[in-house]
Structures are given as structure tokens and as C-alpha cells.
Chain A
Amino acid sequence: MGNTLVIAEVHNGALRKATLTAVTFAKKAAANEGGAIFGLVVGSGVGAVADDFRRFGLAKVFVADNAAYQHALATTYAAVVAEVVKENGVTLVTATATAFGKDLLPRVAAKLDAGMVSDISDVVDGSTFVRPLFAGNALARVKVSSTIKVVSVRGTAFDAAKPAGNAADVVAITSAPADAVGTTFVRFDETKSARPELTEAQTIVSFGRGLKGPENIPIVEKLCDALGAGLGATRAVVDAGWVPNDFQIGQTGKVVAPTLYFAVGLSGAIQHVAGMKDSKVIVAINKDAEAPIFKVSDYGLVGDLFKVVPELVEAIIKAKAS
């Protein structure tokens, strides 16, 4: 096998932690097949990101630092990735399946005439990977026959890599292309939140239509505050416009696996469960004892959330203090 390239995701001038799960995947793949693991940082003013990324047991970190790369446009970035792949004997290209990775990697695969496997959860060998599909109701072993393979990694299936070995050499890429293929960045409207980001949160409180309306969101927010939790939601309430899409947990939103997951006033639709069933401990609160969410929860409490959740907030504050 050739070398493996891990594409770093840069967020607010820093290395996004999600990238480190792709590093762990790369190490697992390379342990089977050999070859070096390289990192690639693309952006503008990303020297510090490269300096951070080099600590994680990589052979080299390529850095393409150019004002034209300030925004992560898939068109521009795909050309940079393809060039680094071709010039460095890379046969496995990977990133974590975040919105960034999902947008970029298929374009990279098409450019390199490579087969791509999305959202993999395990490695069988150098060309065979495991991925969930059908809303998590099946796992498939998927084989890639092209020489170059592109893989996006399900962040919840791999631990974040820890700093290891000597810091890698940083190699500047100066001649990479910068054609945005008719694409211009206009603006980014950030979702402001003081709570932990869902894919990194240790505890998540998630709610559904049982909350009755967006005016009742403060009820679950108080539970978040008591637990230091991130706030998630079902597709139904995102669809109804109560919260931004960024809050959505499920097959078509974010896949999460926190230590503790509270499902409040949500029934447990197949597509929601697909995004949270790997959580370590699941607590369900629902007034309907027959709700499917109780089939996947470790602790179920049948009751009216409007009464139960405020009590729970008080009890948790007390329990944490004692």
C-alpha cells in the first residue's frame, strides 16, 4: 500500500478536534498495510494549525497556506488535495465525515478517479471498510477496487488521536492551484452558542416535538446548564423551524456518541436513533410508555416532561453538589 493522507479541518483558526478521529483511522489502516501517514492543512494563515497537527504521530504535514484558501471551498481544496496525493504516492485519502469532509471528499474522489466509501466505522483491510447504512439497521463490508481510495470517517467510531512521537516536518506547498471554478464565498452566519459542540460534547440533551413549541426550549436549556451539556434536536423540530439545522441529531444530521444522552419528549424515530444509538448511557423521558425510544434507552422515565425536567434539574444540581 502507498501512503495515507489525512486532511485537516480548520475551524476559527484552529485544528478541529474531529480531524483527530481520522488520524486514528489512518493509523489503523496503515498498521495493516504499511505506508506513511501524512497530514494536509489547507487555509490562509494556518501555520499554527500545522504546528499543532504535527504533534499527532504523522510522518509529514503538508501545508498549503494561501489567501485564496481562506474559505473552505470544495472546488479549490479538491485541486490542492489531488496535487498532494499525486506527488506523494498517496493511495488512501481521508477526512472526518463532518459537513466539511462530506462536501469535499466526493469531489476529490471524482478528480482522482478514485472509489469512495462514506462514513466508515471500521477497517477490514487496505481496501475493505465497514460502514453503516439503512439508518443504522445494517452494516456493510465495502470493497474499493481503484488504486487510490477515498474514505470519510465516522467520528464516533474512532477515538481522537493523542500526541505521539516526534513532531513531524512541515512541508510548504507553494505551487498548488487556486481555481475556485466559479465559486465565491459571500458570508458565514455563525450559530452563536456557549454550549459544547455536539460532536465533542460528553453529555447531550436532545428534544423533540413533545416540547410543544420553541417557547419551551428554556426548559431543556436549564437541564443542559445543570449538566454542562450540548443541546440537540430531532429532524421534526428542525423541520418545524424551532432551531437551526446545526442542532439536528440523526441519520440526516449529526451522528453523536456522548457518555450521557438525554432524549426528552422525542419518540425515537428510526432516523433519530441512527444518530445517537452509540451513546454510552441513554436516558429517555417521555409521557408515552410505548414510545420506541424506550427500546434503546438504559433508563426510561415515563412522565410529563414539563413536570419531570424541572425536578430533574433540581435533583442533578443537588447530586453534583453532594
Chain B
Amino acid sequence: MKILVAVKRVPDTTVKLKLKPDGTGVVTDGVNFEVNPFDVIAVEEALRLKEKAGGGEVIVATIGSKDATQQLRHGLAMGADRGILVVNDDDNAIDADVVARTLKAVVAKEQPTLVLVGKQSPDGESNQVPQMLAEHLGWPQATFASKVVVAADKASAEVTREADGGLETLSVRLPAVISADLRLNEPRYASLPGIMKAKAKKIDEFTFESLGVAKAPKVTAVGFFAPPERKAGAVVASVEELVNKLKNEAKVLG
């Protein structure tokens, strides 16, 4: 089974990012970068599905600067077979639609049975690429997956989705796009032998031009600014004081 996983290089999600004074973005100097945690879950799922299928190939693809090779290597160290880097030096010059169209061109080259992607990134938080890619390909989509079972004939998959108010299960024809949610699996750590092996694995590079994709975003950030800061309030000494303040000061206890 051939599976394509799209991954994104993102700033460390545990760090509180600061705005640049000129409002053109956030300061990323000195910040570590990692693979979008949801994409790591997608890589893990692809590896498990390949193992279950008894063979196949897992390809990790990303769009980013040459530095994003590090994130591809992380996927390769987990066990993916090879990588694809579409070189892009300015994240602000593309939008989710350009990303989806670029991935469509990669899919056309690779013809995978399944595309797995994290449901959203922790930086842009758009939650658009998987759904847009599915539409551009004319494929089914199953977003926010918490369970994926591929049928023995590999012609369909049953996907359980994290919906509002419960879990929805859909059956989708393959090929399809599935976006990974938190509970899909517990990703493995890259082992030392895995890291060593990853160094020898192949990463092919492409450009937007070589893939025939127009770098024509429809959505552009024109400025960033700080949200209103919440001020720390009072520390109360007792339950009694807390209830008294909630009732008589904040007036939120009926």
C-alpha cells in the first residue's frame, strides 16, 4: 500500500511566540522547529497501515525551506521510506489553497492509495489543506480521524471521526484523504538505528514551477497584532473568600 503523508515544519508548540515589533509576523529566531504534532500522528498511522498491509511505501512530503529537510528526516527516522521537498522560501507567499494544489501535483506523480495529513497546524491553524486537497483531487475526505481501518481489498476504509457530540463513522472509497486527530494513535519515537538509516534515505526536491503549480495565493496576511492581554487577578486565601467574591464582586453566582 502506497501512502503519502504531508508534513509541516512548525515552531515549537510549547513556546509562547512573540510578535515582531513591525507587525510582519512572529519572532522565530532562537525557536526550535518540529514536525506539526498532528502530522507526526499521520506518519505513525501510515507506518502502521503499511505494516498491516504487509508491504508498500510511505512517502513524506513537505513544502518549505531547505531547513524543512530536518522535518522530513524525522519522518524518515520514524520509518517512512523516502521524502519529497517542494522548495518554498516564503511561507507568507502561499496559502492553504496553493499548498493543496501543490500536494495534488505530488499525488499525480506518486499515485498513492491514501493521503494522510494532520488535521491542522499549530501555527497557521487553518484546518483547510486536507479538505481542499480532497476536493481538488475529486476524492472522498474523512477529517479528524480517531480510527482508520482499511478493507482487506484496499478498495475502501472505515474511518471514525471526532465530530461534535460524538463519534461518526464513515466508509470512504480509496484513494481518499484522511486528516489525523489527536487520538488516532500514540506515535513512536525515532530510534537511533532509525535516525542513522534516515540519513541514507532519498529526498527528491521540486519547485512550484517544476510541478506546474502557480504560486498565486488568494489569502494573504496583511498584518499581525497582539491580542488584548488578560491581567492576572487576585489570589484568594480560602474557599469562603472565593465564593464571596464570585457572588458579590464578580456577581456570577446566581
Contact = CB atoms under 8 A, between A and B. Distances in A.
Nearest to A117: B219
Contacts of A180: 140
A314 to B, nearest CB: 8
Given A137-B26, A141-B222, A294 B252 contact: no
B230 A107 contact: no
B137 to A, nearest CB: 10
Interface string A216-242: 000000000000000000010011010
Interface size class of B (residues with CB under 8 A): 35 or more
A107 B166 contact: no
Nearest to B163: A99
B106 interface: no
Contacts of A203: 252
A319 B164 contact: no
Given A142-B222, A143-B219, A299-B245, A103 B128 contact: no
B233 interface: yes
Given A296-B232, A299-B245, A106 B165 contact: no
Interface size class of A (residues with CB under 8 A): 35 or more
A125 B10 CA distance: 30
Given A140-B221, A319-B253, A188 B17 contact: no
Contact of B122 (A135, A185, A320): A135
B35 interface: no
Interface in A178-207: 180-191, 197, 203
Nearest to A314: B239
Contacts of A74: 131, 141, 143
Interface of B: 11, 13-19, 26, 38, 95-97, 100, 119-120, 122-136, 138-144, 146, 156, 158, 162-173, 176, 181-183, 217-227, 230, 232-236, 238-240, 242-243, 245-247, 250, 252-254
What are the nearest 9 A-B pairs in CB distance?
A182-B173, A115-B218, A106-B131, A110-B135, A298-B233, A106-B128, A186-B169, A190-B166, A110-B132
Given A252-B122, A297-B233, 4 more contacts: A134-B17, A183-B142, A246-B162, A316-B243
7 contacts: A74-B131, A117-B219, A140-B224, A183-B170, A260-B253, A281-B252, A283-B242
